Amino acid sequence: MTEIARELALQRQVMVITSAPGSASQPGPGKPEVSEIKSWWPGKSALVSRSFAAVLFSVQVFFAVLKHARSEDVLLSVTTPFTLPYTVTLAARLRGAASALIIYDFYPDTLVMAGFLSANSILARWLRSANETMFRWLDAMVVIGRDMASKIMAYPNADAAKISLIPNWATMPVRYRELSADNPYRRLCGGQFVIAMSGNAGFTHDPMSVFAAARILKDDDRIRFLLSGEGVGWTKIKDIQAASPLPNVTLVERVADFDLESFLSAGDVWIVPYRRNNTGVSVPSRIYNIFAIGRPIIICSEADSEAAVLLREENIGWVTPPEDPQALARTIELAASSAAATEEKGRRAVLVATRYTRQIALGAYRDLMDRLLEGQLLRRRNEVKSAA
């Protein structure tokens, strides 16, 4: 979102409303104005308190939008926290401004997938009803995966013309990185073939299946596991490894950004493990950096999810059923036994990464905002003519 705001501010007046501590700043040439809302965010595991904080923050944003927005403006919101889009869209409608939403996670489906809600619970039904109204009020919806569009179109009276596909992008320079025995993370593992996993291991992910696959393969001297991350799943893995260590598993705390390239280059293959029912719910943005450095991916997901479809279309990885350690272990053995073919998948992944760059994505956001702003100006002119 920071990159999007900076790109738009090169040609337009941009205000950012955020809860990021210490972020407030005045606008300057090519810089957005940043308005900081003082907010309270408990830890991710404090679900009830965090949900209350999300509601409180969204209400604060609602009043901030009412204060600052004008009828000629366009408001761009995200789905984090999940309560935010509803208040922003309502405030935009009250102000007569256009509104657009970037759907990073699809609610209530994400909460159902994570096991927090049942599909037919009162809250899930209420959120779907709120979505139906919100999708009707929104002027544009940005999806980061093709599978998300079908989720939107399942709603009554959904308008496909409002949907724009703008995937996220790689933040790493796109070029193939050779596997190197001198890589410090690779040396740490001590294996001929390194299976790696990192990133958020939250409620929608299944890192325990990766750990279970490592247990299945513990006697295979070729294969080592390099695991890192954050979130509740990562905490569980650390606890289990401390209680009953696996010799083929190496745990690394989340690496700093300056060391990310070395870390991503350490693995022969990367794993992105999801829980069941991921299709259309979330797209793992980490895959684009993995492609950028030239590594194939094993995704544990339904076959029709965005990442799974992309891997099959381009032949740059493997898809295994979610929450199935046995199937994952078999796929890892296949990748390790065909090292040349695995490397070739990684080299193709670099070519795919050239389609997911900052310039392409930000250009698409710039075009979308220009179109919405022009629409607002045209509407205003028509209103003036009608009044005259």
Q: Which domain CATH number covers 336?
A: 3.40.50.2000
Residue range 92-103, pLDDT digits in tens = 999 999 999 999
> Contact, 277 vs 114, CB < 8 A?
no
pLDDT > 90? residue 168 = yes
Pair 42, 143 in one domain: yes
Dist CA 200 CA 33 (whole Å): 30
Pair 228, 338 in one domain: yes
The predicted structure's pLDDT at residue 44: 66
Pair 20, 96 in one domain: yes
pLDDT > 80? residue 152 = yes
Pair 239, 141 in one domain: no
User: Of 43-47, 68-72, 135-139, 179-183, which gets the smallest average pLDDT?
Assistant: 43-47
The 3-state DSSP class for residue 44 equals coil
The 3-state DSSP class for residue 3 equals helix
Pair 341, 383 in one domain: no
Give the whole-number percent of the chain exceeding pLDDT 70.
99
Q: Which amino acid is at 115?
A: G
pLDDT > 80? residue 197 = yes
Best CA proximity match to 275, nearest among 117, 128, 110: 110
H or E element in which residue 11 lies: none
Pair 297, 263 in one domain: yes
Domain membership of residue 174 (yes or no) is no
Mean pLDDT of 104-121: 91
Q: Which residue has the higher pLDDT, 285 or 97?
A: 97
Pair 71, 115 in one domain: yes
Phi, psi of 78 (to 5 degrees): -125, 175
- Total number of domains in the chain: 2
Pair 226, 336 in one domain: yes
The predicted structure's pLDDT at residue 66: 96
pLDDT > 90? residue 131 = yes
Q: Which residue has the higher pLDDT, 46 or 316?
A: 316
Reported as a pLDDT band with limits 50, 70 and 90, residue 266 is very high
Q: Which amino acid is at 74?
A: V
The predicted structure's pLDDT at residue 116: 86
Residue range 32-84, pLDDT digits in tens = 999 999 988 887 666 778 888 899 999 999 999 999 999 999 999 999 999 99
The predicted structure's pLDDT at residue 359: 95
Domain membership of residue 41 (yes or no) is yes
User: Of 71-85, 199-213, 362-376, which gets the smallest average pLDDT?
Assistant: 199-213
The predicted structure's pLDDT at residue 45: 63
* Burial per residue of 154-175, b for 16 or more beta-carbon CB atoms within 10 angstroms, e otherwise: ebeebeeebbbebbbbbebebe
Mean pLDDT of 184-201: 90
Give residue for tokens 């005045």: 26
pLDDT > 80? residue 258 = yes
pLDDT > 80? residue 202 = no
Best CA proximity match to 225, nearest among 188, 253, 258: 188
Q: What is the pTM of this model?
A: 0.90
Domain membership of residue 224 (yes or no) is yes
pLDDT > 80? residue 109 = yes
Pair 284, 216 in one domain: yes
Q: Supply the mean pLDDT for the chain.
A: 93
In terms of residue numbers, what domain contains 100? 2-169+357-387
Pair 286, 370 in one domain: no
Pair 252, 347 in one domain: yes
Pair 125, 226 in one domain: no
The predicted structure's pLDDT at residue 388: 66
